[in-house]
Amino acid sequence: MSGPEILKTYKLFMNGAFPRSESGRTTAVVGPRGRVAAHVSRASRKDLRDAVTAARKALPGWSGAAAYLRGQILYRAAEMLEGRRSEFEALLASTVPGGAARARREVNAAVDRLVAFAGWADKFAQVLGCNNPVAGPYYNFTIPEPTGVVGVLAPDEEPLLALISLVAPLLTAGNAVVALGSSAHPLAAAVLGEVFATSDVPPGVVNLLTGDRSELAPFFAAHRDIDAIHAAGVPEEVGALLRSGAAENLKRVTVRNGPRPGVVRKGGAAASVDWYDTGECHSPWWIEPFVEMKTVWHPVGA
């Protein structure tokens, strides 16, 4: 006779480890039919601070790594995600409306997105940078460098694909990431930590939190050691709050909130991008907001 089902409680992913929230709080994840599928840790302000500290510590090693190596590591992450395809499909189908076919499409697109940005790692500098024409015996190069520690707030739509779409361009450029997964569908972020943990990504480069967006957004905006924000599909008031960080502490804030014709807003959230549009979402211009341009002068050799 089998006993009662024991539901898993997913932890946070910080500094390469899986700690519980320091607050001890958890949130039940309820599927479309009202059944509790699992529990996730509910991150606090202190968890966010700890994640930023880990990201800052990991930044020099990741930003200083060869672009080719970063691409290989991201490709490895895509392989690990593909290897757990059935697990992610089942997880998404059980918690996100739309069924198995929708979940399968999302996982396929998420793997492709990681592969696409793995390919850009050693190529985007040639697209975004340039060799500037100057008068005189000099070379003048403009090259992109990573911005630093970037905070990510993922939308509720397509919780796996959108999260990867927001995070991958940052990693490609050499940034370290502190990401908050979908508040409505947090399991994608919780399990994605297990993918990055087995993908040769150095500890602290990717930190994944689950929790309440409205609770943590003010701390993302106000934290002075977060250099930039990448968000999508957030309510208009949250978008305005995040942009206030640009004025208060000079963050570079990118909020991708549509418009998308024919998309109805739900729960106050603004329409977001079409996450399946490879022309838009695979573009190196998703990398551009999260690099700083450095110009170098060099004398022409004899």
**Domain limits, the chain:** 11-28+37-299
Least confident of 10-14, 261-265, 290-294: 261-265
Average the pLDDT over 91-100 and give the result: 91
Q: Return d(Cα 180, Cα 260) in angstroms, integer.
A: 23
Write the CB contacts of 207 (distance below 8 Å, at least 6 apart in sequence).
Answer: 12, 13, 14, 15, 51, 52, 54, 55, 176, 177, 178, 179
Q: List pLDDT tens digits, range 53-92.
A: 999 999 999 999 999 999 999 999 999 999 999 999 999 9
41 touches 180 (CB < 8 A):
no
Q: What fold does the segment set 11-28+37-299 form as a domain?
A: Aldehyde Dehydrogenase; Chain A, domain 1 (3.40.605)
* Residue 30 confidence (pLDDT): 86
Please determine, for residue 261, whether its predicted confidence score (pLDDT) is greater than 50: no
Structure tokens at 1: 């006779």
Q: What is the mean pLDDT of the chain?
A: 91
